[in-house]
Amino acid sequence: MDRSPDVVIVGAGIVGAAAAHVLTAEGLAVDVVDRGAPASGVTGAGMGHIVVMDDSPAQLQLTAYSRRLLDELAPELSASCELSRCGTLWIASGEAELEAVEAKQGAYAEAGIASEVLDGDDVARLEPELRRPLFGALRVPGDTVVYPPGLARWFLDRAVERGARLHLGTEIDSLGPREVRAGTTTISAGAVVNAAGPWSGRLSPGLPVTPRKGHLLITGRYSGFCRHQLVELGYLASAHDLSQDSVAFNLQPRPTGQIIIGSSRQAAGWDGAIDRSVLQKMVARAVEFVPGLAGLDVVRTWTGFRPATPDKLPLIGPWPDEDGPWILSGHEGLGIATALGTAQILADLMLERRPELDPAPFRAARA
Amino acid sequence: MTEWAASVVVVGAGPAGIAAAIRAEGAGRSVILIDQAQRPGGQIWRHRDRAALPRQARSWLQRLDRSSVRLLTGASVVDAEPSSRLRVDLGGRPLGVRWNDALVLATGSHERFVPFPGWTLPGVVGVGGAQALLKSGMDVAGMEVVLAGSGPLLLPVAATLSRAGANLTLVAEQAPLGRVIRFGAALWRSPSRWLDAARYRAGFLRTPYRTGTWVLRAEGEDRVREVTLTDGDGERTLPCDLLCTGFGLTPASELARLLGCATDGWRVKVDGVQATSEDGVYCAGEACGIAGAEIAILEGEIAGLAAAGDRAGAERLGRRRPPHDRFVAGLAQAFRLREELSALPAGTTLVCRCEDVPLERLRDFGSTREAKLHTRAGMGPCQGRICQPALQHFFGWGIDSVRPPLFPTSLSVLAAPEEDESPPPPTSIT
Amino acid sequence: MSVESEVGLTVDGETVSSAADITVAAALLNLGKWRFRRSVSGSPRTPLCGMGTCHECLVTVDGDRHRRACMIPVRAGMRIETDD
Ligand SMILES: Cc1cc2nc3c(=O)[nH]c(=O)nc-3n(C[C@H](O)[C@H](O)[C@H](O)COP(=O)(O)OP(=O)(O)OC[C@H]3O[C@@H](n4cnc5c(N)ncnc54)[C@H](O)[C@@H]3O)c2cc1C
Ligand SMILES: Cc1cc2nc3c(=O)[nH]c(=O)nc-3n(C[C@H](O)[C@H](O)[C@H](O)COP(=O)(O)OP(=O)(O)OC[C@H]3O[C@@H](n4cnc5c(N)ncnc54)[C@H](O)[C@@H]3O)c2cc1C
Ligand code: FES
């Protein structure tokens, strides 16, 4: 190595890539190492829903903040990021859920996020494929969808323009606070960031990040079949409960006219095989909401491992103590949506500035 | 989902699959034979008119008719579950097919294409593709046709086109004459192959057969109107309504790979009795190497016996098999693609036809998966079956993973729950 | 060859007749259809492989989109739409 960078980032997923983008913009010299290609980890498997979520106040703040940061970049993004302003519809499954719709709108309003309560007729007009009767929904018009590998690559390309170096196809065996080691090679740096996603615990043994398996499925091209990302209101509850396997209705129109159908959550270790019974449950749930899906062609199915933490918030900061290497991991099912916000908080902490959001809930050493 | 079961299930009703099914049935097993085409016979025996088939083919097809093998046609295998069950798309309805003892994969091959400017124009078809379309009723009488590609398949297809009344103006083989002759000479052990070749050549005597000649580009507004070829020195442009192009065959190993069977490149690895690396799963025919129908039949017979538990019988038959690997290697060597073919596509030539990805967007990447993630090449409905062999040829990249479904199929077929008692599909089962 | 009967089809709204016992792909080509589908960037495509692999022959059959024309036999009364 002819120069020792200020920061070496392990992982060229969306999280490491966003960090490289933000840190180089701050003028830091950055190296990014990945054992594979950019976005070849779970970022290549995710749905790319840039969504505001309110499972906890910290999550609400982080998702809202991150969405705003991405919106600010929107005019610069390349076509390959496939940014689509489709918005989200949170669908109520019965009268009983309408109260939850109202409550959600209140929470969003407090966080400065515009949303609109729709009645059943409005929903039917917006998305005619949804099964009747329809009770209502919360529409969040500012939510967007991206193509995660495209966005990760865009971040890395910007970083490289500002002098970042990529070491692709390089597997890191171990890391310390000031260096990473790959075989006999060592890269020393002012700081080390472990952004190895679901695998970050392998490089920082004891880190409370575990793989949470998810299945997705994509159809052929059916332009205009639906217009919004459609999510059942019960999704949050299903995502929240870590103790059991779950499926929830979550459907995303791609700019190609394809539809991605999700999603499942399982603690299944590192077995990436398609679990047919989970696939069946997931499809059954989707067809319950949108009967017309049953006749559409599936082109491919796949799985990915979300990097999950016990309290469902990402880890941002040094670990296990103030002298440890930096961790940027544990984004579970929201890494695409929150990569920019977490990268900004990381940069602020590294540069000893006060982050816009209170970083305490995300402190890596909380765990 | 309705479910059927048999002791032995065979996928692919080409020569290998038919032979496997007949042999397994002969050994006393119940057998289900599945093919996505409407008629048995695979790529070579699937004639609408059986009388036109050679005697050997007719005899196998008759044995199949008379057997108790349950033949399931128009049936695409779309998934293989670890629990010994195939999921089949039968005219848009799901059907489960369970194998109690053994599964034989006889899924054949795909045609290999090399992209060149204009290859996506309407009227540019595969060589095997033209053959398949003719067999399924395409009328080529009076059309101007040029055949340009590589491999032994050019000859029978040229003969068929001529017989069907096409005005076949040129058959261009990219391999140089010397290699083609050496390959022919190596065939002296199998006189039937010589006879075939001579008969095929006689079938298009009025058309020149040029070795060392390859296609440069196809042109036309909204369909192909002319093709330009070269022998390395001059260029020659011919008018055409149909350009048939194909550069040999690639084993169709998707189902085997989905089941976890070990492969060597595209080929499924098998032992002396056609057993794959997976318990109870056998493979026969072109899926384990491109060697022609003769060997496919023999491999099918071996696999059928082994699948039925007659290992001794399978081994006995196995000893009759000519040195397979030598033939496979000889074929690959004789018709290996010349360097110039790598330079055919322009930057704007599409390589992935499903997603319209041009060559120039692919050059920057290092692997099939990386290129796929960042350009969508291989993400379309053919799942890379057409572009991956081309990418392998251009860049030496590897083979992407296989995931269900094997072919696009409706959600209701792929994910119908087992316990769902849907009415049985309308069936052509016999 | 066995006696070849004809079947009536509707192709892109027009009533036509085709040989029976052939595939939709063959029938469309025989009718001079040189555009089965439109590619993602809008160019016309016709069958390449003829055997179910390439998916260049996708058409709408009886309202069902993305069907492989080379794998489906024509049936009397079938409605086919090209240029999807
Ligand atoms: C089914 C599913 C749907 C999802 N949908 C969404 C969604 O709609 N919205 C959303 O925001 N999020 C979604 N997610 C979550 C999102 O994909 C992840 O949170 C995010 O991609 C995490 O990014 P990452 O960079 O941390 O991890 P990764 O993308 O996995 O990056 C880690 C990188 O580290 C590399 N690496 C690991 N170990 C080493 C080593 N030892 N040496 C070198 N390199 C190494 C890997 O190769 C990898 O490239 C979804 C996830 C799944 C599974
Ligand atoms: C397009 C093409 C045209 C050819 N034309 C000729 C020719 O004219 N003359 C010649 O000598 N050789 C020809 N060949 C070579 C010839 O096919 C082989 O030599 C011989 O047929 C090999 O037999 P097989 O049983 O291994 O495969 P095949 O005959 O290819 O049979 C495989 C069968 O499996 C079926 N199948 C595959 N996957 C599935 C699935 N998932 N679900 C259900 N069914 C499935 C296919 O529909 C096919 O019918 C051709 C090959 C191809 C690919
Ligand atoms: S022509 Fe290739 S799939 Fe029909």
CA distance B413 to B411: 5
Q: CATH number of the domain that C37 lies in?
A: 3.10.20.30
Q: What is the pLDDT of residues B290-304, one digit of tens each?
A: 888 889 999 999 999
Containing H/E element for B190? none
Contact A30, A5 (CB under 8 A): yes
CATH 3.40.50.720 fits A85-142+210-308, yes or no: no
Residues 6+ apart with CB under 8 A from B427: B72, B90
Contact A175, A168 (CB under 8 A): no
Chains that touch B (3 or more CB pairs under 8 A): A, C
- Does C35 reach chain A within 8 Å, measured CB to CB? no
Residue B429 pLDDT > 50: no
Q: For strand B2-11 and strand B93-105, is the pairing parallel, antiparallel, or unpaired? A: parallel
* Edge-to-edge strand ranges of the sheet holding A246-253: A116-119, A136-140, A88-91, A229-232, A246-253, A259-265, A210-219, A297-308, B409-410
Q: Nearest to residue B6, comparing CAs of B105, B96, B100, B103?
A: B100
Amino acid at position A353, single letter: R
Which residues lie with the beta carbon below 6 Å from any ligand 2 atom?
B 11-17, 34-37, 42-44, 75-77, 106-109, 111, 128, 131-132, 153, 156-157, 249, 252, 255, 285-286, 292-293, 296, 406; C 51
Q: Where does the pLDDT of residue B430 fall: very low under 50, low under 70, confident under 90, or very high at 90 and above?
A: very low
Residue numbers in A near B369 (CB within 8 A): 37, 40
- Does B405 reach chain A within 8 Å, measured CB to CB? yes
Domain of residue C55: give its range.
6-81
Q: What is the pLDDT of residues A235-274, one digit of tens each?
A: 877 777 777 889 999 999 999 999 999 999 999 999 999 9
What is the arithmetic mean of pLDDT over A196-210? 98
Cβ <8 Å between B136 and C30: no
Measure A245 CA to ligand 1 centroid, in angstroms.
20
**A83 phi and psi, to 5 degrees?**
-65, 125
Looking up tokens 């990805």, which residue turns up? B357
Interface with B, mutate which of C54, C75, C83 (most B CBs under 10 A): C54
Tokens coding B121: 């124009």
Q: Nearest to residue A335, comparing CAs of A99, A7, A76, A18?
A: A18
Identify the pLDDT of residue B83: 81
Task: Return the ligand 3 atom nearest residue B129 CA.
Answer: 1
Containing H/E element for B147? strand B144-149
Burial class (CB in 10 A: 0-12, 13-18, 19+), C13: exposed
Within 10 angstroms of residue A56's Cβ, the number of other Cβ atoms is 14
Cβ <8 Å between C40 and B356: yes
Residue from the list B408, B417, B418 with its beta carbon closest to the beta carbon of A298: B408
Alpha helices in B174-292 (DSSP H): 177-186, 191-202, 254-258
Residue C2 pLDDT > 70: no
Q: What is the pLDDT of residues A105-150, one digit of tens each?
A: 999 999 999 999 999 999 999 999 999 999 999 999 999 999 999 9
- Does C40 reach chain B within 8 Å, measured CB to CB? yes
CA distance C60 to C72: 11
CATH 3.50.50.60 fits A7-48+148-209+311-366, yes or no: yes
Percent of chain B with pLDDT over 90: 80
Residues 6+ apart with CB under 8 A from A79: none
Q: How many CB pairs under 8 A join A and C?
A: 8
- Does B363 reach chain A within 8 Å, measured CB to CB? no
List A residues 129-188 in contact with C (Cβ-Cβ < 8 A).
none
In angstroms, the separation between the Cα of residue A296 and the nearest Cα of chain C is: 8
Identify the pLDDT of residue A366: 87
Cβ <8 Å between C66 and A297: yes
What is the Cα gyration radius of chain C? 12
Residue numbers in A near B403 (CB within 8 A): 274, 300-302
Residue from the list A40, A282, A301 with its beta carbon closest to the beta carbon of B373: A40
Q: What is the pLDDT of residues B391-400, one digit of tens each?
A: 999 999 999 9
Identify the pLDDT of residue B185: 74
List B residues 95-114 in contact with C (Cβ-Cβ < 8 A).
110-111, 113
Q: B289 or B421: whose pLDDT is higher?
A: B289
Q: Of all protein residues, whose CA lies closest to atom 52 belonging to ligand 1?
A: A46
Instruction: Return the bridge partners of B8, or none.
Output: B31, B102
* Within-domain flag for C28: yes
Amino acid at position B428, single letter: S
State if residue C27 touches ligand 3 by the CB under 6 angstroms criterion: no
What is the arithmetic mean of pLDDT over B250-278? 96
Residue A1 pLDDT > 70: no
Identify the pLDDT of residue A238: 73
Identify the pLDDT of residue B196: 77
Determine the angle formed by the axes of helices B368-375 and A148-161, rounding to 10 degrees: 100
Chains that touch A (3 or more CB pairs under 8 A): B, C
Q: Nearest to residue C20, comparing CAs of C12, C9, C11?
A: C9
Identify the pLDDT of residue B423: 53
Contact C79, C65 (CB under 8 A): no
Q: What is the pLDDT of residues A145-178, one digit of tens each?
A: 999 999 999 999 999 999 999 999 999 999 999 9
Looking at all shown ligands, the one closest to residue A215's CA atom is 1
In chain B, what's the furthest Cα-to-Cα distance?
A: 66
Within 10 angstroms of residue A166's Cβ, the number of other Cβ atoms is 20
**B151 phi and psi, to 5 degrees?**
105, 165
Residue B421 pLDDT > 80: no
CA distances from A23 to A26, A62, A162, B396, C38 (A): 5, 19, 10, 36, 44
* Within-domain flag for C25: yes
Measure B106 CA to ligand 3 centroid, in angstroms.
20
Task: Return the ligand 3 atom nearest residue C55 CA.
Answer: 3
Identify the pLDDT of residue B187: 66
Nearest chain B residue (CA) to C3: B49
CA distance B288 to B16: 11
Percent of chain A with pLDDT over 90: 95
> Could you tell me how many helices (H) and strands (E) chain B has, helices first?
15, 22
Identify the pLDDT of residue A275: 95
Domains and CATH numbers, chain B: 2-110+250-323 (3.50.50.60), 113-247 (3.50.50.60), 340-395 (no CATH)
Identify the pLDDT of residue B427: 47
Contact A361, A341 (CB under 8 A): no
**Cα first-last separation, chain A:** 34
Within 10 angstroms of residue A171's Cβ, the number of other Cβ atoms is 11
Q: Measured on CA atoms in the order B414, B418, B423, B426, is the torsion positive or negative? A: positive
Q: What is the pLDDT of residues B108-153, one digit of tens each?
A: 999 999 999 999 999 999 999 999 999 999 999 999 999 999 999 9
* Within-domain flag for C1: no
Residue B326 pLDDT > 90: no
Q: B199 or B64: whose pLDDT is higher?
A: B64
Q: Nearest to residue B334, comparing CAs of B234, B193, B170, B206?
A: B193
Cβ <8 Å between B416 and A280: yes
Identify the pLDDT of residue A256: 94
Percent of chain A with pLDDT over 70: 99
Identify the pLDDT of residue C83: 87
Within 10 angstroms of residue A127's Cβ, the number of other Cβ atoms is 22
Task: Return the ligand 1 atom nearest residue A328 CA.
Answer: 26
Q: What is the pLDDT of residues A339-365, one digit of tens each?
A: 999 999 999 999 999 999 999 999 999
- Which of B101-105, B173-177, B346-350, B423-427 has the least mean pLDDT? B423-427
Q: Which residues of chain A form CATH 3.30.9.10?
A: 85-142+210-308
Cβ <8 Å between C66 and B139: no
State if residue A12 touches ligand 1 by the CB under 6 angstroms criterion: yes
Identify the pLDDT of residue B197: 79
What is the arithmetic mean of pLDDT over A78-85? 97
Q: Please count the structural domains in chain C.
A: 1
Q: Measured on CA atoms in the order B165, B169, B174, B175, is the torsion positive or negative? A: positive
Residue A2 pLDDT > 90: no
Q: Nearest to residue B403, comparing CAs of B383, B378, B376, B388?
A: B383
- Does A297 reach chain C within 8 Å, measured CB to CB? yes
Residue numbers in A near B410 (CB within 8 A): 294-298
Task: Return the ligand 2 atom nearest residue B160 CA.
Answer: 8
CA distance B138 to B140: 6
Q: What is the pLDDT of residues A286-340, one digit of tens each?
A: 999 999 999 999 999 999 999 999 999 999 999 999 999 999 999 999 999 999 9
Query: Cis before residue B389, ω within 30 degrees of 0?
Result: no
The total number of residues shown for chain C amounts to: 84
Q: pTM of the full predicted structure?
A: 0.93
Residue from the list A220, A274, A297 with its beta carbon closest to the beta carbon of B403: A274
The yes/no answer to whether this complex scores an ipTM above 0.90 is yes
Residue B424 pLDDT > 80: no
Alpha helices in chain A (DSSP H): 14-25, 57-73, 98-110, 120-126, 148-161, 200-203, 235-240, 276-289, 335-350
Q: Where does the pLDDT of residue A103 fall: very low under 50, low under 70, confident under 90, or very high at 90 and above?
A: very high
The region, left, alpha or beta by phi > 0 then psi within -120 to 50, assigned to residue A356 is alpha
Residue B188 pLDDT > 80: no
Tokens coding A354: 């006060």
Burial class (CB in 10 A: 0-12, 13-18, 19+), B249: buried
Looking at all shown ligands, the one closest to residue A167's CA atom is 1
Residues 6+ apart with CB under 8 A from A261: A216, A217, A218, A219, A250, A251, A252, A282, A283, A286, A293, B411
Residue-averaged pLDDT of chain A: 96
Tokens coding B194: 């010589």
Q: Measured on CA atoms in the order B131, B355, B78, C10, is the torsion positive or negative? A: negative
Measure A339 CA to ligand 1 centroid, in angstroms.
10
Instruction: Return the bridge partners of C45, or none.
Output: C37
Instruction: Return the bridge partners of B283, or none.
Output: B105
Identify the pLDDT of residue B52: 83
Looking up tokens 């579970």, which residue turns up? A332
State if residue A15 touches ligand 1 by the CB under 6 angstroms criterion: yes
CA distance A267 to A47: 19
Contact B130, B115 (CB under 8 A): no
Q: What is the pLDDT of residues B214-238, one digit of tens each?
A: 999 999 999 999 999 999 999 999 9
Q: For strand A136-140 and strand A88-91, is the pairing parallel, antiparallel, or unpaired? A: antiparallel
Identify the pLDDT of residue B428: 45
Q: For strand A297-308 and strand B409-410, is the pairing parallel, antiparallel, or unpaired? A: antiparallel
